[in-house]
Amino acid sequence: MRAVGFTKPGGPEVVRVIERDVRDPGPGEVRIAVRAAAVHPSDITFRERGMGDIPPPWVLGWDGAGTVESVGDGAGGLTPGDEVMLVVIPRRPDGGAQSELVVAPAASVVPKPAAATFEQASTLPMNGLTALEGLRLLDLEGGQSLFVTGGAGLLASYVIPIAARRGLRVLADAKPEDEELVRSFGADEIVPRGELPAERVDGVYDTALLYGGAFPAIREGGGIVFVRGWDGHEVDRGIHGYPVWVGDVVDRTDWLDGLRELASQGALQLRVAETYPPERAVEAQERMDAGGLRGRGVIVFEP
């Protein structure tokens, strides 16, 4: 089967379409014929650093969508032919989701949202779970305030409506041309991009990677979620810092089902910026790395 992979760490030149065998599913697993797989910033991190002691070739991709091809014993009611979305940790022997066939734990696979295309569904699991885990760590209650940085980005577009539905007062930053988009996610107040709220908030979900630059916006004893790259240093004024690692929650079937339901209701916008064949995976990574995408690049495998 074809997959987007690499055999040594490096720059864009190491990524290519590889051919690999894909094993049968074991107990509690399913094998999925992937139709679409999302491209994430961590693809570049893995490409540059490799995947530790996992033997190459390494296959990229956290999440995707496709059709169940075969199932192992105890696969949680999934059957061949089901149209599903999935999330996997790429740093594992079976590799990531950017592959024509992928074996995944059944706990990490649920039906795709109603009326969503495979491309749209592939953008939801990883970022949706990240949104839920970060909000769990902040543990804010209805009526408290949350500032979401990078308000027009895909992760923020999931954080904002989920937080709003929980009764939080949501502030988010946006460029002038993105204000209406960010309001459509459910933000109560828009802060100009590059600025902080005039009031101190109870928590910050830092999707724009402001790090310490966001601390002045947080009340004493409040919290901030770091989505990547936090060095673990102490924060100011008793503020609590929470690094979020989605790998801890890829088996939360209940969360995945909840995300599917929200998307089916139209509460979450599943945004595909561009699609690419696997042969153009490097282009997808470079376009993402350049910034400014409104949605996710997606690798598409033709059936």
**Does 2-124+270-300 match 127-246 in CATH topology?**
no
291 pLDDT band (50/70/90 cuts)? confident
Class of 2-124+270-300 in CATH:
alpha beta
% of the chain exceeding 70 in pLDDT: 98
Joined tokens for residue 63: 């999440």
Rounded to an integer, the average pLDDT of 236-261 is 93
| Residue closest to 191 by CA, chosen among 227, 212, 216, 167 | 216
What string of H, E and C letters represents the secondary structure of 79-100? CCCCEEEEECCCCCCCCCCCEC
β-strand pairing of 272-276 with 296-300: parallel
pLDDT, position 58: 96
pLDDT in the model for residue 73: 94
User: What's the CA gap between 82 and 113, in Å, rounded?
Assistant: 12
User: Residue 236's pLDDT is what?
Assistant: 72
**pLDDT reported for residue 102:** 98
Interval 153-165 mean pLDDT: 97
- pLDDT (0 to 100) of residue 270: 96
CA distances (Å), 162 to each of 132, 135, 159, 258, 268, in order? Answer: 8, 9, 5, 10, 8
Q: Decide if 268 contacts 262 (C-beta within 8 A).
A: yes
- Residue 62, pLDDT above cutoff 90: yes
Contact 137, 223 (CB under 8 A): yes
Q: 44-48, 71-75, 288-292: lowest mean pLDDT where?
A: 288-292
Nearest Cα neighbor of 16 from 274, 302, 277 is 277
Pairing of strands 169-174, 145-149: parallel
The CATH number of 127-246, from 3.30.70.20, 3.40.50.720, 3.40.50.970, 3.40.50.1100, is 3.40.50.720
Select the more confidently predicted residue: 129 or 230.
129
Beta bridge partners of 103: 31
Which pLDDT tens digit goes with each residue over 117-137? 999 999 999 999 999 999 999
d(CA 148, CA 171): 6
Q: What is the pLDDT of residue 18?
A: 96
SS3 205: strand
The answer to whether residue 234 scores a pLDDT higher than 80 is no
In the predicted model, is pLDDT for residue 230 greater than 80? no
What is the structure's pLDDT at 293?
A: 78
Instruction: For residues 221 and 202, give the distance between their C-alpha atoms in angstroms, rounded to a whole number.
Output: 8
Rounded mean pLDDT, 32-46: 95
Per-residue pLDDT reduced to its tens digit, 181-228: 999 999 999 999 999 999 999 999 999 989 889 999 999 999 999 998
pTM of the model: 0.95
Parse the chain into domains and list their residue ranges: 2-124+270-300, 127-246
Greater confidence (293 vs 17) lies with 17
Which among 203, 251, 245, 250 has a CA at the least distance from the CA of 227?
245
